[in-house]
Structure 1
Amino acid sequence: MNWRNLAFLAIVGFGAWQYWSDRPVKVAPGVTVAAEPRQNDAGSAEFVHKGYTIAPLQTFDIEARVLGVKSYRTGREADLSPVDLALGWGRMSDSAVLEQVSISQGNRFYFWRVKEFPIPREEIERSSANMHMIPADSGIERRLDQVREGQRVRIQGWLVEARGHDGWRWRSSLTRNDTGAGACEVIYVRDIAIL
């Protein structure tokens, strides 16, 4: 076998592996996560992470279904957060509902569209969100890289404000009732489990 055939087989093999490792997980209809995210006063001091000052605002504990995964390698925010997860809970974790909602991510936002509302608009907005993940260490970053659409995850950490020495700031939303710019959660991820 010549090198071209080997290269072709290697490319096909890599493509197959990429497809199987990144494909969405199929989930039967029904609410998979009933509980809403939980947060409390952080009570933790500021610290430096990757050259940025991180100020914990509130503790954050969420179990949710992954609606989308988007990696980022460029831009200031990517220094801290290499991946965003669009997450859903309540009826936004139900495959029967999600089959009627078109979801996409880009430019650090999460977008959804419907032809007809399967549940009220306000419930979609309150029960799903785009969340920027700041991994606490390389082990957490590796686990975040393994997350796939459709999986159920539990994330524990802090909602934070990140600040640069030049005055740049990136502050987390502290409520699930907001939408648009500034409505995303910025999470310093201290632990993540794929359930």
Structure 2
Amino acid sequence: MVVAIVAALTGLWWWQGRPVTQPPGMLAPEDPLQAPPEAPAPWTFRNHSLTALARFELRARVLGVERYRFDRPAELSPVDFALGWGPMSDSRILDAFSIQQRDRWYFWSSPRMPIPEAEVIAHSANMHLIPATPLVEKRLLAVKPGQVVALRGQLVRADGKDGWHWVSSLTRTDTGDGSCEVIWVESVRVTDR
């Protein structure tokens, strides 16, 4: 009986988290929008000071979802999305890539590059998501790879009382340490066709 329950729960977990398949074509053709922050004054969230660096909106295909519970940033951000827009939202392009996330990083590889590396870098990113409300958190945690999402919020700097800090990238063309966006997510919608 116990084995049957464990098997059923494992099957349910797999079914709920399975990637969503999408047809060929760019599902999110527009670049993210970034503008000066509306409210540059810092605010407090979960014992951290957050400072808005820019308003930020994007519609992108979810290339990967990774939850975090035990690292230092998990106090603010329970989940990262690897996101793709433009050519990196097209199944014909993505079929050539292997995509992984771990340790708050996003990794891609391809034995045959269907687009130049610079295009991959400019049209995909790992984004650390800080939910502004419990409802936003619930919606973020329900998102699956393959879905198309619209996120709206602010790129932020987070400062802990212990001296720890986390600063968002403000460009889509950087790579390496510090290149991820740290987003205070005010709204999230799944916008699949």
**In which range does the TM-score fall when normalised by the shorter chain?**
over 0.9
Distance in 2 of aligned mates of 1:148 and 1:75:
22
Matched, 1:185 2:181: yes
Q: Partner letter of residue 137 of structure 2?
A: E
Matched, 1:52 2:48: yes
Matched, 1:11 2:6: yes
Q: Give, in angstroms, the shift of residue 35 of structure 1.
A: 0.4
Question: Which of residues 162, 165, 179 is equivalent to 2:161?
Answer: 165
Distance in 2 of aligned mates of 1:70 and 1:179:
19
Q: Partner letter of residue 30 of structure 1?
A: G
Q: Partner letter of residue 35 of structure 1?
A: E
Q: Partner letter of residue 145 of structure 1?
A: L
Provide Cα deviations, 1:115-138, integer angstroms capped at 9, x if missing partner. Answer: 111001100000000000001111
Provide Cα deviations, 1:90-122, integer angstroms capped at 9, x if missing partner. Answer: 000000100001100001000000111100110
Distance in 2 of aligned mates of 1:168 and 1:72:
18
Q: Partner letter of residue 160 of structure 1?
A: V
Question: Which of residues 139, 146, 149 is equivalent to 1:150?
Answer: 146
Q: Give, in angstroms, the shift of residue 9 of structure 1.
A: 2.4
Structure 1 residue runs of 4 or more that deviate by more than 4 Å after TM superposition: none
Q: Give ranges in structure 2 of 5+ residues lacking alignment.
A: none
Q: Partner letter of residue 160 of structure 2?
A: G
Task: Indicate the residue corresponding to 1:96 in structure 2.
Answer: 92
Q: Give, in angstroms, the shift of residue 18 of structure 1.
A: 0.8
Distance in 2 of aligned mates of 1:157 and 1:123:
25
TM-score (norm 1): 0.96
Task: Indicate the residue corresponding to 1:112 in structure 2.
Answer: 108
Task: Indicate the residue corresponding to 1:83 in structure 2.
Answer: 79
Q: Give, in angstroms, the shift of residue 166 of structure 1.
A: 2.2
Distance in 2 of aligned mates of 1:171 and 1:17:
37
Matched, 1:23 2:11: no
Distance in 2 of aligned mates of 1:15 and 1:48:
38
Counterpart of 1:190 in 2: which secondary structure?
strand
Q: Partner letter of residue 69 of structure 1?
A: V
Q: Give, in angstroms, the shift of residue 11 of structure 1.
A: 1.4
* Higher gyration radius (CA): 1
Distance in 1 of aligned mates of 2:11 and 2:162:
44
Question: Which of residues 17, 22, 32 is equivalent to 2:27?
Answer: 32
Q: Give ranges in structure 1 of 5+ residues lacking alignment.
A: none
The share of aligned pairs that are identical, in percent, is 45
Q: Partner letter of residue 34 of structure 1?
A: P
RMSD: 0.7
Tell me the number of residue pairs that the alignment of Structure 1 and Structure 2 aligns.
Answer: 190
Task: Indicate the residue corresponding to 2:172 in structure 1.
Answer: 176
Provide Cα deviations, 1:147-194, integer angstroms capped at 9, x if missing partner. Answer: 000000000000000001122110000000100110000000000001
